[in-house]
């Protein structure tokens, strides 16, 4: 008879691992679908640009500010993720809320960009609209709509972090929100470089 003690398996820990894997898989599937959506937009942009009747215009100055803000927001969220691994709950929550505020700042800057575009005579629709400007509005608006979901996730995750619902051994919510937010940052940087180079 084999009396060798078997390794104890904690059912709660196993369930947590399964939840983590399935949640991350769903998140990555969502990211892939969003990536495909914007790949379609940018491909259509290039195809339409080659057909002519394309108005070339300068990106508004606030577009550069938007890019800086969202990159900074990813940095603050990185510190939040690092802090929770050290069980620094308040610091982690603080960094998440700072990220949330930067997200609001990015949203404000986008509306400012659209205002600056209209001042340049670049409109989304109407008699004086051009397809190049319409593409810019659509791409920026679609990114902003996805960012709203990220802002909701940030606020909810920040509240849970403040209430110490996460720990160094269980921070799935912070991890998932981080994956999505960092993706939105990379997506915007790609869109910014794309729009800067293809005008």
Structure tokens at 24: 């991350």
Q: What is the predicted pLDDT for the residue at 1?
A: 47
Across-strand partners of 167? 170
Q: How many CA atoms lie within 13 A of 70 on its CB side?
A: 28
Instruction: Indicate whether this model's pTM tops 0.85.
Output: yes
Classify 130 in phi/psi space as left (phi over 0), alpha (psi -120 to 50) or beta.
Answer: beta
Nearest-angstrom CA–CA distance, 107 and 113: 10
Neighbours of 150 (CB within 10 A): 22
Residues 50-69 pLDDT 10s: 887 888 888 999 999 999 99
DSSP code string of 18-56: HHHHHHHHHHHHHHHHHHHHHHHHHHHHHHHHTTS----
Q: Which domains does the chain have, with CATH numbers?
A: 13-48+68-197 (1.20.120.80)
**Low-confidence spans in the chain with pLDDT less than 70:** 1-18
Q: What is the predicted pLDDT for the residue at 11?
A: 62
> Dihedrals φ, ψ of 72, to 5°?
-60, -40
């Amino acid at each position: 008879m084999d009396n060798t003690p078997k390794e104890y398996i904690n059912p709660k820990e196993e369930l947590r691992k399964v939840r983590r894997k399935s949640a991350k898989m769903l998140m990555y599937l969502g990211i892939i679908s969003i990536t495909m959506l914007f790949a379609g937009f940018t491909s259509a942009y290039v195809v339409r640009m080659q057909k002519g009747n394309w108005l070339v215009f300068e990106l508004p100055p606030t577009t550069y500010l938007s890019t800086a803000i969202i990159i900074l927001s990813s940095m603050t969220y990185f510190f939040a993720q690092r802090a929770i691994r050290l069980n620094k709950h308040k610091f982690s929550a603080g960094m998440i809320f700072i990220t949330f505020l930067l997200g609001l700042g990015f949203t404000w800057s986008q509306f400012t960009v659209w205002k600056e575009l209209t001042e340049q005579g670049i409109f989304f629709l109407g008699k004086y609209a051009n397809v190049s400007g319409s593409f810019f509005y659509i791409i920026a608006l679609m990114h902003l709509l996805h960012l709203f979901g990220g802002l909701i996730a940030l606020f909810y995750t920040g509240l849970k972090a403040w209430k110490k619902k996460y720990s160094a051994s269980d921070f799935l919510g912070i991890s998932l929100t981080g994956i999505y937010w960092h993706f939105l940052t990379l997506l915007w940087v790609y869109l910014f470089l794309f729009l800067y180079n293809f005008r």
